[in-house]
Amino acid sequence: MFIRIASEKDCFRVSEIHLNQIKDGFLTELGPEFLRIFYSAISQKAVLIVAEENGKIIGFVSGCLILKDFYRFFIKKHIFKLAVILLFKLKKARKICETAKYSSSKENSGLPEAELLSIAVLPEFQGKCVSKELLQSFVSELKKREVKAFKVMVGEKLERANRFYIKNGFIFHSKGLAHKDSPSNIYVFKI
Ligand SMILES: CC(C)(COP(=O)(O)OP(=O)(O)OC[C@H]1O[C@@H](n2cnc3c(N)ncnc32)[C@H](O)[C@@H]1OP(=O)(O)O)[C@@H](O)C(=O)NCCC(=O)NCCS
């Protein structure tokens, strides 16, 4: 297995894995085209790391240093495509605004700016340390950029993901209230 920083050409495969493995996330609900441009922007402006086995991507982790700055870049770069995608998914688009608003809200103050946005590994490679190695690479990458801590927001129903974070040293911070219909847990990892 080989872990490396992703390039833009990996984004199609990464968005496919996201779509199939993170089924009830709000980004997933925005569809494959949205995910492709989202990960393309992440690979350019934030952190996207992939795990490869025999030349095939089997998992990835993504995150950013400052969410607000990333969304600003993303919206500016893809304004027309986003307008078309979101026009047909107005309800889902509301969730993006809720997330952005929540990130700068009072409840969220005191949390690190940096954030792990998503991690997913193909089912046949789960339970085999691929996710742990992806996480370790993500931590090293953030350390290089002088980040001292980062947060992650995960749906409370995703039992395996919650256990993965706790097992790997994340500390529970609070309940995330960005989306009333889908509560989440916020964890912090200190580097
Ligand atoms: C989250 C994810 C990356 C973790 O990777 P993983 O390889 O499954 O991680 P682990 O094998 O270390 O499993 C984590 C813990 O979950 C628990 N677990 C294992 N199978 C489980 C299951 N079927 N249901 C609930 N918990 C389970 C175990 O306690 C395990 O810890 P242990 O090794 O001490 O027994 C991976 O499960 C995944 O890709 N999930 C789908 C995408 C997702 O939900 N991403 C998170 C949201 S961003």
* Domain at 2-190, CATH homologous superfamily: Gcn5-related N-acetyltransferase (GNAT) (3.40.630.30)
**What is the Cα 42 distance to its own chain's centre?**
9
**Is residue 146 predicted with pLDDT exceeding 80?**
yes
Q: Whose CA is nearest to atom 39 of ligand 1?
A: 120
| From 71-75, 85-89, 94-98, the region with the lowest mean pLDDT | 94-98
- The pLDDT value recorded for residue 182 is 73
- The pLDDT value recorded for residue 66 is 93
Does the C-beta of 127 come closer than 6 Å to ligand 1?
yes
Q: Where are the domains of the chain?
A: 2-190
The model's pTM is 0.90
Ligand 1 centroid to Cα of residue 22, in Å, is 12
Does the C-beta of 26 come closer than 6 Å to ligand 1?
no
Q: What is the mean pLDDT of residues 79-87?
A: 82
- The pLDDT value recorded for residue 82 is 83
Does the C-beta of 162 come closer than 6 Å to ligand 1?
no
Does the C-beta of 22 come closer than 6 Å to ligand 1?
yes
Neighbours of 99 (CB within 10 A): 17
Q: Confirm if 35 and 118 have CB atoms less than 8 A apart.
A: no
Q: From 155, 142, 125, select the one nearest 47 (Cα to Cα).
A: 142
**Is residue 56 predicted with pLDDT exceeding 60?**
yes
Ligand 1 centroid to Cα of residue 130, in Å, is 11
Ligand 1 centroid to Cα of residue 121, in Å, is 9
More confident residue, 6 or 24: 6
Q: Cα separations (Å) of 130 from 82, 117, 127, 189?
A: 33, 17, 8, 19
- The pLDDT value recorded for residue 81 is 86
Q: What is the mean pLDDT of residues 17-29?
A: 88
Does the C-beta of 106 come closer than 6 Å to ligand 1?
no
Q: Is 24 exposed, middle or buried (0-12, 13-18, 19+ CB in 10 A)?
A: exposed
Amino acid at 117: L
Q: What is the mean pLDDT of residues 63-74?
A: 92
Q: Whose CA is nearest to atom 35 of ligand 1?
A: 127
Q: Which residue has the tokens 């995608």?
A: 85
Q: What is the arrangement of strands in the sheet containing 149-155, beginning at the earlier edge strand?
A: 2-5, 47-53, 56-64, 115-121, 149-155, 184-190, 171-176
- The pLDDT value recorded for residue 183 is 85
Ligand 1 centroid to Cα of residue 118, in Å, is 13
**Is residue 13 predicted with pLDDT exceeding 90?**
yes
Q: Could you read off the pLDDT of 105-138 as tens digits, one per residue?
A: 655 668 999 999 999 999 999 999 999 999 999 9
Per-residue DSSP letter, 78: T
Ligand 1 centroid to Cα of residue 160, in Å, is 4
Q: What is the mean pLDDT of residues 36-44?
A: 95
**Is residue 35 predicted with pLDDT exceeding 70?**
yes
